[in-house]
Amino acid sequence: MKYWILLSRIPFLSVVILPYILGALLAQRLTGKFSPAVFFLGLAGSILIQLAAHYSGEIYDIKEDRLSAVLGKSPFSGGSQVLVKKLIPESKVGVLSYAVILLAFLIGTILQFYFKTGKWTLLLGASGVICGLFYSKPPLRWVSRGLGEIFIAYSFGFLAVNAAFYIQVSSFDILAVFVSLPIACAVVNIILINEYPDYQVDREASKNNLLVRIGKERGAFLYALFVVCAGVSFFIALAKGFPVESAFFYFPVLIIAVILASLMLKGAYRDSLLLQKMCAMTILVNLGTSLSFILGLLMSKIL
C-alpha cells in the first residue's frame, strides 16, 4: 500500500482539486445552482484522470527515471522510482492506468445521462484523458513534442475550472474562463521549473520537452513571462467581475512569484539546493492562486 501511495503521488492531486473546487463554487455564486452529488462525482473523475496520467508517466518515462537515479535524483525529478526499483510490477501499473480511465468514463456517463449535466460532459473528460494519459504515453507523447506544457496548462487550468463549472449548470461562462487563465500560467511554471533538475537526463534520453528545446536561459525568461501573465490575468478576472476580496489573498502569492522570477532570471537554477526550494515554492504559488480565488469568493459571501 505504501508503494501504491508513493506511485500515485498524492500531494500533486491538489493541483487539480483546488481549481475544480473553485469552478464549482463560482457556478454556485453566479447561478445559485450546486449539486453535492455532481460535485463529488466530478471531483472523483478528475482525480482518476490525473492518477491515470501519473501511472502512465511512471511507465513511459522509466528510461529517464533510471538515468535520473544514476545521475542524482531530487524530490522534483525522476518520478517516484517505484518502477525503477521494481517495487511494483510494471504490468500491474499498466492495468491500473486503464482501470481508472474506465472508472472515470463510467462516472462521466452517469453525470451526463443520469444527472443531465450537459452534452459536453463526456467530451470534456475525454479531452482531459487525451492530455493527461498521452502526456508521456506514445504515440502522441506530448512531452517529447514540446507541447506537453500547453496541454498541462489546459488540463489543470482551463479544464479543471470550467469543467467543474459546466457540470453544475450545463453551460459555460466567460468569467470562469478568465479565472482559469492565471492558474494555467502558474501550472505551466510548475512543469517548466521541474524540468530543470532533469535537464541533462532528458537531453540524454531524447525527451525533447520545452526546456530541452529552448535551453535553460530562455526557460528562465519564459518562467518570468508566465509570472507576469499570471499576475495580469488575475487582475483582469477581478475587473471582469470576480470578487475583489481575492486580491487581499493574492498579493503575498504574487510577491513570492515575482521573487522566484527574479531568481530565475539571475540564474539561481544553477544551485541545485536552491532550485529544489524554488520548485516547491512554484507549486505553492499555483495552489495559492487557486486558493486566493476561493477565499475571495467565500469572504465576499460573508461580507
Quote the pLDDT of residue 78. Answer: 65
93 contacts 213 by C-beta, under 8 angstroms: no
Quote the pLDDT of residue 69. Answer: 67
More confident residue, 77 or 14: 14
Task: Say which residue the cell 528562465 belongs to.
Answer: 220
Average the pLDDT over 93-119 and give the result: 96
Q: Would you say residue 71 has pLDDT above 70?
A: no
For 129-182, the pLDDT digits (tens) are 999 889 988 888 988 888 899 999 999 999 999 999 999 999 999 999 999 999
Quote the pLDDT of residue 152. Answer: 93
Closest CA to 23 of 246, 235, 294, 295: 294
Quote the pLDDT of residue 202. Answer: 86
Q: Would you say residue 76 has pLDDT above 70?
A: no
Q: Model's pTM, two decimal places?
A: 0.94
Quote the pLDDT of residue 63. Answer: 80
Quote the pLDDT of residue 111. Answer: 98
Rounded to whole angstroms, how far apart are CA atoms 49 and 257?
Answer: 28
For the chain, which residues make up each domain, given as ranges?
2-302
More confident residue, 23 or 57: 23
For 199-255, the pLDDT digits (tens) are 988 888 788 899 999 999 999 999 999 999 999 999 999 999 999 999 999 999 999
For 184-203, the pLDDT digits (tens) are 999 999 999 999 998 988 88
Structure-derived torsion over alpha carbons of residues 266, 268, 270, 274, reported in degrees to the nearest 10:
180
Q: Would you say residue 64 has pLDDT above 90?
A: no
Q: Would you say residue 72 has pLDDT above 70?
A: no
Quote the pLDDT of residue 79. Answer: 72
Average the pLDDT over 75-96 and give the result: 83
How long a stretch of residues is the chain?
A: 303
Rounded to whole angstroms, how far apart are CA atoms 48 and 99?
Answer: 9
Average the pLDDT over 97-103 and give the result: 95
More confident residue, 11 or 159: 159
| CATH no., domain 2-302 | 1.10.600
Q: Would you say residue 91 has pLDDT above 80?
A: yes
Task: Say which residue the cell 457540470 belongs to.
Answer: 167
Quote the pLDDT of residue 73. Answer: 61
Q: Three-state secondary structure along the chain?
A: CHHHHHHHCHHHHHHHHHHHHHHHHHHHHHHCCCCHHHHHHHHHHHHHHHHHHHHHHHHHCHHHHHHHHHHCCCCCCCCCCCCCCCCCCHHHHHHHHHHHHHHHHHHHHHHHHCCCCCCCHHHHHHHHHHHHHCCCCCCCCHHHHCCHHHHHHHHHHHHHHHHHHHHHHCCCCHHHHHHHHHHHHHHHHHHHHHCCCCHHHHHHCCCCCHHHHHCHHHHHHHHHHHHHHHHHHHHHHHHCCCCCCHHHHHHHHHHHHHHHHHHHHCCHHHCHHHHHHHHHHHHHHHHHHHHHHHHHHHHHHHC
Half-sphere exposure of 24 (CA within 13 A, CB side): 20
Q: How confident is the model at residue 23 (pLDDT cuts 50, 70, 90)?
A: very high
Calculate the average pLDDT of the chain: 93
